[in-house]
Structure 1
Amino acid sequence: MTTTASAAPTLSRGRTAQVRLQRFGAFLTGMIMPNLPAFLAWGLITALFISVGWLPNEMLGGFGNADLPGAWQGAATQLVLAEDGTTFRQYLGLVGPMVTYLLPLLIANSGGRLVHGERGGVVATIATLGIIVGSTVPMFLGAMIVGPLAAWVMKLVDSLWDGRLKPGLEMLVNMFSAAIVGGAMSVAAFFGIAPVVSQISTWLGDIVAWLADNGLLPLMSIIVEPAKVLFLNNAIGNGVLVPLGAQQVVEQGKSLLFLVEANPGPGLGILLAYTLLGVGAARSTAPGAMFVHFIGGIHEVYFPFVLMKPVLIVAAIAGGMTGVATNVVFGSGLVGPAAPGSIIAVLAQTSRDSYLGVILSVVLSATVSFLVAAVILRASRKRDLAAGESGDLAAAVAQTEANKGRSSAALSSLVGATGTAAPVRTIVFACDAGMGSSAMGAAVLRDKLRKAGIEGVTVVNKAVATLDDDAADLVVSQRELTERARQHAPTTRHVSVDNFMNSPVYDDVVAEVGASRAAAGAGEAP
């Protein structure tokens, strides 16, 4: 009795900490994800036009001098101090201004909007320019800090006179207050925050350099791979690896940090092992998941396969470490984030001199994760066949309900206490970023509803952070995210699934919607 009583609070605290980390990671993702096209554009321009790119161009890549004749004399230049003490004018190009100004300002605007809407986004952008100008390194970290902070200050200031202004003064006060707060935060960021964030960036860079110098970079996979399965990867990837990777691109032209998390190899190896050695629903689902994971870049689809056998995290770690080690040996890297983590995005962002290393890192990481996963699955195959499933489902996170469609708390939440299904008109699939895996799940359910001849049901996908009680009649999320989804929409019915691609829960939802429509039709009949 004593043991149980003392263990419960510990478990609760651990679960709460995980939810908070997930929420923090989701917030970072909310700043990065909408701006991924800009990151991709920057990566492609870098790969093409820098001095070691596919199509080197002095003006676009930002190298060489400004002594070209003709109309190009009007191109933007900067004064550069040479090693011999002389100065010359150098083209700014596109690469430098994009990573220095455009990307951090976009991140700040997105972060500000998350905190205080459009008004917060404007103030966040103004404030972030201060930290950009006051720093000597790309201020991705600074934008993630100053942007939301400035928007929060603006929100706090707005609350001081909310509903207290005389009619006709609202626009005047709103305009000047935003200008004053934005300007003041910009100055404060320039003098107070920029030096601190610059030092933090330097420390983080020194840690990565120390790991590289001592051959320890592969150890990052010990943290990153488990974090991915627990949906904590966004805090690590978007909060640390992407900013440091961007800084390395500016200094070295490429970075392997972009591939620590985005490498599709480890997940591919695990799914391949399930395809060949799994049993039951896991084996039949794995081939389709491989395509979505490797080509579509939606890594979430392999997480349930690891959760069915948690020991498979060893395979993911081994594959991840192999990929990082391969890139270290070959000195290979990407010129920008590979998002989504598709092999197509990885190859598109690969540095011109890194194709061999990057391709081998994916192939070898997949091979190693497959071999380790194959040994694990082969060792338990006899027991799995006897159980009729692909793992110890009693120890997994309710895999029995998902694979066999048995009665469960998640399924019972679809019906009321009396067993009568409530009408469902709007269904939301929710994941961390609001795209990718949730979009895939929504598409699957829409197709099932269409085939069942059911019309008039809206099925959409959203980020967990944007949910509210008015968003839907039913929210479908992966089991690891359901608790966080309930916090945003506490009175809405929630359903947990372990695999967005193929879950018996979808059939139950279709059946419920059909039954509620039939009941409604019977009630209207004379």
Structure 2
Amino acid sequence: MENTATSTKKKSSLKTKVQRLGSALSNMVMPNIGAFIAWGLITALFMATGWLPNAHLAKLITPMVTYLLPLLIAFTGGSSIAGHRGGVVGAIATMGVIVGANIPMFIGAMLMGPLGGWCIKKWDDRVQPHIRQGFEMLVNNFSSGIIGMLLAIIGCYAIGPVVTTASGWLATGVDYIISIHLIPLANIFIEPAKVLFLNNAINQGILTPLGIQQAAKAGKSILFLLEPDPGPGLGVLLAFSIFGKGTAKASAPSAIIIQFFGGIHEIYFPYILMKPALFLSVIAGGVTGTFTFSMLGAGLKASPSPGSIISILLMTPKGIGNFVAVLTGVAAATIVSFLISMVILRRDKTNPDAALEAGQAQVDAMKGNTKPQASNGKDAKAILSGGTVSKIIFACDAGMGSSAMGASILRDKVKKAGLDLSVTNTAISNLKDESGLLVVTQEELADRALKKTPDAVHVSVENFLNSPKYDEIVAGLKTKEVTADDETSTENAAQDSTTKETDASAYKVDFSKVTEVDFVHHDQNVGSATMALSTFKTALKKNDKKITARNVAVNDLEDKPEVLVLASRETAKRIKSQFADLQVIVMSNLLDPAEYDKIISELK
């Protein structure tokens, strides 16, 4: 019995790790799908063999796939760990692997982007508390540049050559399998190599020269079909169109057109990179398609370029039998790839009870039970009424699509109930454990969310877009009377600041926690925040107080009690709707030195 429990726990842990890897890849790739589509359209339209050949516009193709797409992925990966600075360092580091290799560095970008973000985050955690006031910008800019430079050098001399060498091994494997006449097995190497953007190297460097020799003797060659076969990629995209979620599902139909009719196979590569198990789909589809081509004697007169179904049919020798053989092979590859992709995309939903049991087992194992958790949401009302909730976050794999719509639905219900609570959405990998947090996830992701935020209240739902549990959540929140007490207190503080006769303690701020004072700019208020910061720093100097003071954008605020924001009433309302933990004082006049003297006197 104990061995069974241990085995179940290990399987659950492995599943969680695989899901976390897939989520990390997804978080880097999916926000940049638009760039992949743009590149695919430009390639399909303007390349020499495209639908609207244009030599000048075709110059966009190589720089985009070599530099733009990897750098976007790297920036996204780095910024997910350490904000904008992390993205910048990740992009600098990725330039090293781009220069150090002769193939598009998507894998390198997925390594170096997060590594750059992690390095700058560790540096900031260790060094920033010791930076003397006035030197913040100097230290931050030089640290980003130096760390980015060192990582770029490492990438150029180490990561880039390693990835290039591994890619060469794949090409050698394809060549060997063809030489021993096990052609269908060649797709075991071809399909992964394609996703690593070695499709042109394999097709033009290995398959096309060999195919030309065969076609010269027999009038056709099966080798021209191995890499261009659109079936494996089409199956994956069809599965995403039906069983995918969020942005991936919404963008897959457009990708199908570009891939199947435009012949740009690269468009489906991000979908596989975001969920590595799909390598099995394209490998099985490729092997099935090539096996079918071999059995039916299919072959092409020359290499189709691009790998569009139209180009393939144009390169098919005359004769109804030849066309039937080619179309049958493509269809077989599509069906097998689709079926396996369907299973992979739906595998967490095939047995939801097991997923819930695994999630509950993790809860029991993690317990030092300080508070009850709602792993299935059935007792959400009771749980919410037993604790204080100040912020609600919807969490899914990519933090886009379905979770955003779910957050919008609950936000509307919360607003109609008269509750002043922040309702947002994010990726599970970006969740931060904090008190007063309610996390809403889909049932199959509950165990990951619980592990990420063990101190939060959790409610899991079957469908983000239509769940009766939303009404239970609102009822539980109203029972606990979660209201906008903080806004009332800030308005009182504003009145106090107008009379100038109230003690600073009336602000109802825990000054003992404050280590940073922020002035916020948004819309057209950049100038006023800058002047307010200057006035406040003058008051700090006069009172001989050393504390960090910044002028930041709303979205760059850190939601923690150590941050005190001094803002106008309108700005304060916006901040309170977005953040739960930082502290706010409403200022009737942001340029009043006397008011700042009272606040500074309370700072430790």
TM over 0.5: yes
**Could you tell me how far apart the structure 1 residues matched to 2:69 and 2:110 are?**
11
- 1:6 corresponds to: 3
- Residue 458 of structure 2: SS of its match in structure 1? strand
- 2:66 corresponds to: 100
- 2:41 corresponds to: 44
- 2:426 corresponds to: 462
Which residue among 492, 498, 511 is the counterpart of 2:456? 492
Which residue among 460, 469, 476 is the counterpart of 1:508? 469
**Could you tell me how far apart the structure 1 residues matched to 2:22 and 2:435 are?**
22
Q: What is the deviation of 1:247? A: 3.2
Q: What is the deviation of 1:182? A: 2.0
**Could you tell me how far apart the structure 1 residues matched to 2:79 and 2:63 are?**
23
**Distance verdict in 2 for CA 1:368–1:483, change over 3 Å:** closer
- Residue 135 of structure 1: SS of its match in structure 2? coil
Unaligned runs of 5+ in 2: 205-226, 254-279, 314-325, 344-348, 361-373, 486-604
2:398 aligned with 1:433, yes or no?
A: yes
Q: What is the deviation of 1:473? A: 4.0
Q: Quote the RMSD (CA, aligned, Å).
A: 5.0
- 2:557 corresponds to: none
- 1:57 corresponds to: 54
CA shift digits 1:380-400 (9 cap, x unpaired): xxxxxxxxxx9998768579x
Task: Tell me the number of residue pairs that the alignment of Structure 1 and Structure 2 aligns.
Answer: 392
- 1:308 corresponds to: none
**Distance verdict in 2 for CA 1:115–1:297, change over 3 Å:** same
Kept in 2: contact 1:423–1:517 (CA 8 A): no
- 1:385 corresponds to: none
**Could you tell me how far apart the structure 1 residues matched to 2:246 and 2:32 are?**
25
Kept in 2: contact 1:130–1:190 (CA 8 A): yes
Q: What is the deviation of 1:17? A: 2.1
2:459 aligned with 1:517, yes or no?
A: no
Q: What is the deviation of 1:518? A: 6.2
CA shift digits 1:6-50 (9 cap, x unpaired): 222232222222212222222222221222211111111111111
Partner amino acid, structure 2, of 1:325:
T
- 1:215 corresponds to: 184
**Could you tell me how far apart the structure 1 residues matched to 2:78 and 2:482 are?**
47
**Could you tell me how far apart the structure 2 residues matched to 1:11 and 1:367 are?**
29
**Distance verdict in 2 for CA 1:242–1:364, change over 3 Å:** closer
Which residue among 10, 24, 29 is the counterpart of 2:26? 29
**Distance verdict in 2 for CA 1:206–1:38, change over 3 Å:** farther
**Could you tell me how far apart the structure 2 residues matched to 1:500 and 1:446 are?**
13
- 2:551 corresponds to: none
Kept in 1: contact 2:167–2:193 (CA 8 A): no
2:128 aligned with 1:162, yes or no?
A: yes
- 2:162 corresponds to: 196
TM-score (norm 1): 0.59
Which of the pair has more CA radius of gyration?
A: 2
- Residue 475 of structure 1: SS of its match in structure 2? strand
2:198 aligned with 1:247, yes or no?
A: yes
**Could you tell me how far apart the structure 2 residues matched to 1:369 and 1:28 are?**
20
The 5-angstrom pairing of residues 118-517 of structure 1 reads 118-206=84-172, 214-216=183-185, 243-244=195-196, 246-248=197-199, 252=203, 259-260=232-233, 263-265=236-238, 297=252, 321=284, 325-326=288-289, 329=293, 353=311, 360=331, 364=335, 410-412=376-378, 414-416=380-382, 420=385, 426-442=391-407, 449=413, 454=417, 456=419, 459-470=423-434, 473-502=437-466, 506-514=467-475, 516-517=477-478
**Could you tell me how far apart the structure 1 residues matched to 2:116 and 2:172 are?**
29
Unaligned runs of 5+ in 1: 62-92, 221-236, 272-288, 299-316, 337-348, 373-389, 402-407
- 1:281 corresponds to: none
**Distance verdict in 2 for CA 1:442–1:323, change over 3 Å:** farther
Q: What is the deviation of 1:121? A: 1.8
**Could you tell me how far apart the structure 1 residues matched to 2:200 and 2:403 are?**
32
Kept in 2: contact 1:27–1:465 (CA 8 A): yes
Q: What is the deviation of 1:216? A: 3.8
Partner amino acid, structure 2, of 1:10:
S
Kept in 1: contact 2:235–2:336 (CA 8 A): no
**Could you tell me how far apart the structure 2 residues matched to 1:370 and 1:194 are?**
31
Kept in 2: contact 1:259–1:334 (CA 8 A): no
**Distance verdict in 2 for CA 1:167–1:334, change over 3 Å:** farther
